[in-house]
Structure 1
């Protein structure tokens, strides 16, 4: 079974961290035409009060250049993107472009992505639809195993923590108004410390006595109260698992560098951006940010509980991504994108190194296969590429999808690639410039991310699961489908 972590950049992140290819004349630092973003921008990107002249230079031509070999923004996380592209841990899709409903409204765009549908009022969330798919086709999964070799449970109620939110109430788990679902397959919220939502601790003495009496009555009449008895047992099982997970968050449980892995370049890169990748005992270390710790918790849960199939994560603690007026700030967009990609670079090492070293799961099995874990990163929409009068970008359409891991999933596209090409469009010198897919470029709708997720879990016609008769009769192709 695959395991998917979905990171959402609420507010709509600019595409520029992953796409500076149209920034300078004729693209990526070359000269010769006047069709670049910077030449046509209402305000100069290369002005000293903005980003400086290095944003126009290829890093291959100048060691201080900001445009990487693949056209990413070096100091806005591009350094780590290049690291993950070269190690075949990542794909970068540059043309997630809305054509069926080109809205730039936050609510509609968030719901479109979290529900994988254009019928945003009536459709369930992606996590809910995935749970319904598994539940409705449970007999088809009988021969499927989890990443530690454990078989599927006898029924859907046997899953432990299959759908989790690390961002509070997530639209990804919006219920289906037309279909009921086992309670155990609904999304549950937890925090980055795995504080236990199942505990019955801190009871008063009288509450403890009443609780014990109730359990004794139910136990003595187990056949009559079988459902309640099963629920109590399940709660106790989940409470134990949450306690075990909390203990795993100790840095002493992070993996050491596996034998034969050369980390010198990785250590140097992280050090350049203020982070010690390894502790004194050669254990991996996450950056000390709220987002990095939340991602650490999500990865730890996935590694040690292979039954966690889908998890949603926000970027709380870094700030929002609605950058109308703080794009050029020192702690603005560049710093946030850097922290996101730096944390993901560590997360990918956590996933790979833990698999190389062997993981003891919560079920007591030894797990070495971690190539089924995928991390997806996207937001509401893209932004315009003109630098506005407030030093930011207003809402746009085209955006990036950053996707990591999952090389062991047969329907997954090979990693290490940049897919999709853009060109600048709009009116020179105005606050109305943007990128669009180049002629002949591959392009996808945001719902394609949901379609691919369903495909990974075995859907044979995943486009149907993004379709609706009113707004989107044909549905949407997967990321791996180029037709």
Structure 2
């Protein structure tokens, strides 16, 4: 069949599905919210907290298990002496420390500035002791579900379901209310954060995909807008799909999806084209900067978006088993400089309700191995930035000590196993804290008893 002879009465199924665009099948066919996965009656919710906080969250998940060393070099001399291979401590090209023992060459200078300006809380003892497998898939699945059991919905899917059930997030009415239709956003594609399990979320509660920079996932590719079907009317293949939907589709989800794709394409373009405040320049050639610029523009200009999730570039990007120092220092510098710009961006527009949390599935061994890298460990940092409307300024929390020997060299909370142990928590407390931010008063029932990070929330 030649394209210029396409007849409106017939359409190939494959072409039809492509014409729907990035919304996908889940946005076309109606699904209802069922309570099979959650006992809503047992979830205590305070709408006053939800409204006062007016929280918006960016989750930066560092796949692969990030080393703690960028934010915690307090034990580095002992570590270097006990390690298979010494660290290059005498060479400031590789390792230079800030006054609070951040690794300056690995984003530590930006961290130091954010600590001193009150923009960063750093927890140095997120120490996994429960089900400590150190396996990427299992640990990521559990960290993004917020509990140490297999199955169940992800953190953001649970949050979406609860907020909808409690009546503080509601379905938009028509395409004019497009901002309200994207409460949850992914900039990393599919992830367990959005796994529904038995929740079966309504389409508007599912994550909307957003690209960074000029990347607009709702723009039709492959010539849909360039290929002319009728040169007299300038009808393109894309406009043909739109008009065909309006002409033949009954009122409902299919027709709405064609309308919504056009609106989302326009909305995404508008977000990407927003001019930054004077003096705000995200670092160039920096994937974190590009993503955070888009995420911050979205949150600042759309109050209805509650959570944006973005992963580090590529699954396993922080799995630094070999040649770690060069790659890790560049990557951490990119990340922290991008976050520092995001904090300045938020201040420049007078906002203080946006928070950014950074964590991964586990930490790393601190032995500098024969491949000049680090193997898997169980202590990691959790970084929490911004959120001045509802977060206390704690600064640095948690002290570490070195344990083990040879290839099994780790850090752990200082005085671990005694009554004087430094404060520490499981990674699942990140989920509990996120839930509490949005008004859920007993998040422990969603995290198998893991509580909110102590003293963080005001």
Q: TM-score range by the shorter chain?
A: 0.7 to 0.9
Contact 2:111–2:336 under 8 Å retained in 1? yes
1:88 paired with 2:118, answer: yes
Corresponding residue pairs, total:
384
Q: How does 1:391-406 map to 2 (within 5 A)?
A: 391-406=372-387
Contact 1:254–1:285 under 8 Å retained in 2? no
Q: How does 1:103-114 map to 2 (within 5 A)?
A: 103-114=133-144
SS in 1 for 2:181: coil
1:41 paired with 2:22, answer: no
Given the alignment, which residue of 400, 405, 409 partners 1:433?
A: 409
SS in 1 for 2:348: helix
1:423-475 alpha-carbon deviations (Å, 9 max, x no partner): 11112xx11110011122111111110110000000010111112xxxxxxx2
Deviation of residue 243 (structure 1)? 2.6
SS in 1 for 2:60: strand
Structure 1 pair 311–210 and aligned structure 2 pair: CA distance change class (3 A): closer
Contact 2:161–2:201 under 8 Å retained in 1? yes
1:334 paired with 2:329, answer: yes
What is residue 359 of structure 1 aligned with on the other side? none
Deviation of residue 166 (structure 1)? 1.1
What is residue 325 of structure 1 aligned with on the other side? 322
Cα distance in 2, alignment partners of residues 125 and 408 from structure 1 = 26
Cα distance in 2, alignment partners of residues 18 and 318 from structure 1 = 22
Given the alignment, which residue of 207, 213, 229 partners 1:205?
A: 229
Cα distance in 2, alignment partners of residues 213 and 335 from structure 1 = 50
Contact 1:156–1:185 under 8 Å retained in 2? no
Cα distance in 2, alignment partners of residues 327 and 230 from structure 1 = 49
Cα distance in 2, alignment partners of residues 189 and 154 from structure 1 = 18
Q: How does 1:373-452 map to 2 (within 5 A)?
A: 373-409=354-390, 412=391, 414-415=392-393, 417-427=395-405, 430-439=406-415, 440-452=421-433
Cα distance in 1, alignment partners of residues 125 and 447 from structure 2 = 19
What is residue 268 of structure 2 aligned with on the other side? 242
Q: How does 1:145-294 map to 2 (within 5 A)?
A: 159-176=180-197, 178-193=198-213, 195-199=215-219, 202=225, 205=229, 207=237, 208-209=239-240, 211-217=242-248, 225-228=251-254, 230-248=256-274, 253-256=275-278, 282-294=279-291
1:135 paired with 2:164, answer: yes
1:17 paired with 2:17, answer: no
Cα distance in 1, alignment partners of residues 276 and 266 from structure 2 = 21
In structure 1, runs of 5+ residues without a counterpart are 25-35, 56-63, 143-151, 219-223, 257-281, 356-369, 468-474
1:88-114 alpha-carbon deviations (Å, 9 max, x no partner): 000000011111211211111111221
Cα distance in 2, alignment partners of residues 216 and 155 from structure 1 = 21
Cα distance in 2, alignment partners of residues 154 and 339 from structure 1 = 37
What is residue 358 of structure 1 aligned with on the other side? none
Cα distance in 1, alignment partners of residues 139 and 446 from structure 2 = 18
Contact 2:153–2:199 under 8 Å retained in 1? no
Deviation of residue 217 (structure 1)? 4.9
Cα distance in 1, alignment partners of residues 142 and 315 from structure 2 = 23
1:120-171 alpha-carbon deviations (Å, 9 max, x no partner): 3x11111111111111111xx38xxxxxxxxx76789963221111112222
Deviation of residue 395 (structure 1)? 0.7
Contact 2:186–2:207 under 8 Å retained in 1? yes
Deviation of residue 182 (structure 1)? 0.7
1:307-339 alpha-carbon deviations (Å, 9 max, x no partner): 1111111222898211111123xx311121111
Cα distance in 1, alignment partners of residues 422 and 432 from structure 2 = 20
Contact 1:287–1:343 under 8 Å retained in 2? no
What is residue 365 of structure 1 aligned with on the other side? none
